[in-house]
A and B are shown apart, each in its own frame.
Chain A
């Protein structure tokens, strides 16, 4: 018997046959939901070997390393109740964690609340850029929900939809999209002018396909304004929720798209690096979740023409949904996605 975990992080024991069966079931689930190719037998064998090794920690073979980007880095140490400013935080990411990129972010981590304090954010970015070497993103979430009542001016679609007020909800979403685009373009422009190496639209799609559409349109506008700007788009979940139900981008209905389809929309808009998500099912084992994750991530990377950096953290990318991810699961997900998932980064 081998020790592994459930998607909620609890330790369990499984036999090698049970682990293989769960990986295969996870792959089958991905194939069925996303309509993608299955994994070949040798890759199932590789994953089975990876998840049955008794060692606490595993790594890729030398030469197969990938680039690591970290969202929201500049506020993560503060969340650990460490009394630290954002620039020392970024320097720690660069010089202690040896990250390949880092990201300046505001604690609220949405574009809308950054707007009134943009001058302070620009100065922090300018100062951070003088004392760091690694590429520095400015990141925030489109977070379209902030534009509906009580936080914003538009009627709340979550209240309208249960009442059957479909037209009113759709109109509210359309207004929220326009306001979200303005804020994303305004903040991103200012941070790019302050010297940021790139902008990260993180957790895109958290308010469904209106959120995704707003980020795509904002990307278009920014690329038109600054042809050299680099934009990373990280998603919020594997499946674009259809909250409006009738929104298209370049002739494609955005609702229901999976990672290998989302990346093509991102490319059309001008995104430079795409960050797909595959969610964790906490009621299934980690081997089941990794089979499913690798199948969807690999399909996304094969379909892409731009670099793909899978989200691999708490509750996504084959990592248990806990705030203290166990290294045994995290390193295996990291290796599986770099070696089999064909990722350009994580």
Chain B
């Protein structure tokens, strides 16, 4: 069921920009078009390219925000989320906790 939805109408998660758009919906209450526009602006990409895994894999690598098949040394997990918070200019709860515990 998950796979059918992902292929039929999904944004693609960390393969593209779905996780980023979801964050804007969750934390800022943005509707889908507004959230896409916000993320596209921050990433400096066209909205039409936001669900393209070829283009977005390169963009995600460039910004260090995690990608589906990362190479050794690239940001993963919490490291990628810290870069996402800064790039999108949003607070991520777990990133804030991580900073509180480590600084």
Contacts and interface: CB of A to CB of B under 8 A. Distances in A.
Interface in B48-96: 48, 51, 65-66, 68, 76-78, 80-81, 84, 91-94
B4 A98 contact: no
A10 to B, nearest CB: 18
Contacts of B78: 129-131
Interface in B6-52: 6-16, 18-19, 21-23, 25-27, 29-32, 35, 47-48, 51
B57 to A, nearest CB: 12
Given A57-B7, A134-B14, A97 B77 contact: no
Contact of A101 (B7, B19, B32): B19
A195 B13 contact: no
Q: Is the contact region of chain B dominated by helix, strand, or loop, or is it mixed? A: helix
Interface residues of B, number: 47
A133 interface: yes
A307 B14 contact: no
A66 B15 CA distance: 14
Nearest to A232: B26
Name which of B26, B31, B80, B91 has the most chain A CB atoms within 10 A of its CB.
B26
A21 B16 CA distance: 39
Contacts of B92: 197
A65 B18 CA distance: 9
Contacts of B66: 133
A242 interface: no
A101 B47 CA distance: 20
Nearest to A97: B2
Given A62-B51, A134-B13, A98 B18 contact: yes
A345 interface: yes
Given A63-B51, A133-B81, A230 B4 contact: no
A98 B10 contact: yes
B77 A131 contact: yes
B12 A65 contact: yes
A321 interface: no
A68 B31 contact: no
B78 to A, nearest CB: 5
Interface in A222-252: 228, 230, 232
A100 B5 contact: no
A288 interface: no
Name the residue among A93, A197, A228, A314 with the largest chain B CB count within 10 angstroms: A197
21 contacts: A57-B8, A62-B48, A62-B51, A65-B11, A67-B35, A68-B10, A94-B19, A100-B11, A100-B21, A133-B14, A134-B14, A135-B26, A195-B97, A198-B26, A228-B27, A228-B91, A305-B29, A312-B5, A344-B35, A345-B25, A346-B9
Interface of B: 1-16, 18-19, 21-23, 25-27, 29-32, 35, 47-48, 51, 65-66, 68, 76-78, 80-81, 84, 91-94, 97-98
**Closest A-B pairs by Cβ, 9 of them:** A100-B18, A195-B94, A98-B13, A334-B8, A331-B8, A344-B32, A129-B94, A133-B66, A134-B19
Given A63-B48, A132-B77, A338-B8, 17 more contacts: A67-B32, A93-B2, A97-B13, A98-B12, A100-B13, A101-B26, A129-B78, A133-B65, A133-B84, A197-B26, A197-B92, A230-B26, A312-B5, A325-B4, A334-B9, A335-B9, A344-B32
Interface of A: 57-60, 62-70, 93-95, 97-101, 129-136, 192, 194-198, 228, 230, 232, 272-273, 305-307, 312-314, 319, 325, 327, 330-331, 334-335, 337-338, 343-346
